[in-house]
Amino acid sequence: MSLYICVFKGDKEIEGVEVGLYADFNFLRDAVIATVEQGQAGSVCPVLVNHSDSDGEWSVSEAAALLSELKVIEAALSKQPPVEYNSPWKKEVAKTFGIKPKNLLDCFFDVDGEQLIARLRELADASIENKSPILFQ
């Protein structure tokens, strides 16, 4: 089962990201806990780390906090070495789009091969701009 995170304004979808499997989102959060939070889950990035990925939403105010967290995450992950992909689909997407991770940040991308942190930042921006929550589906 895959995780889709999106922003709607009324009935119109403004922005959406197909993250991959739920395990892929957890793989990102585990990397954040290990590198950014030194094993203390939610101590630096509570919006990203503490939210259930199975349903619900990030409110507009949480989206603003998420933007700050994503800057910290991006800086930290870009200084770490890359790791093996955690999903077979990632190997296929990387091959298709020529993705060759230079650091840990590059190991996280969506099903279209776009960097996941950048896509989450776009979702947070859309949420704030449209005054609409980020929905987990």
For 77-113, the pLDDT digits (tens) are 999 999 999 899 999 999 999 999 999 999 999 999 9
Helix count (H) and strand count (E) of the chain?
Answer: 5, 4
The residue that leads in pLDDT, 126 or 137, is 126
Average pLDDT over residues 44-50: 96
pLDDT confidence band for 137 (50 / 70 / 90): confident
Q: Looking at residue 81, what DSSP letter applies?
A: P
Tell me, what amino acid is at 66? L
Domains of the chain: 2-136 (3.40.1760)
Name the pairing type of β-strands 2-9 and 134-136.
antiparallel
Average pLDDT, the chain: 94
> For residues 38 and 28, what is the distance between their CA atoms, to the nearest angstrom?
14
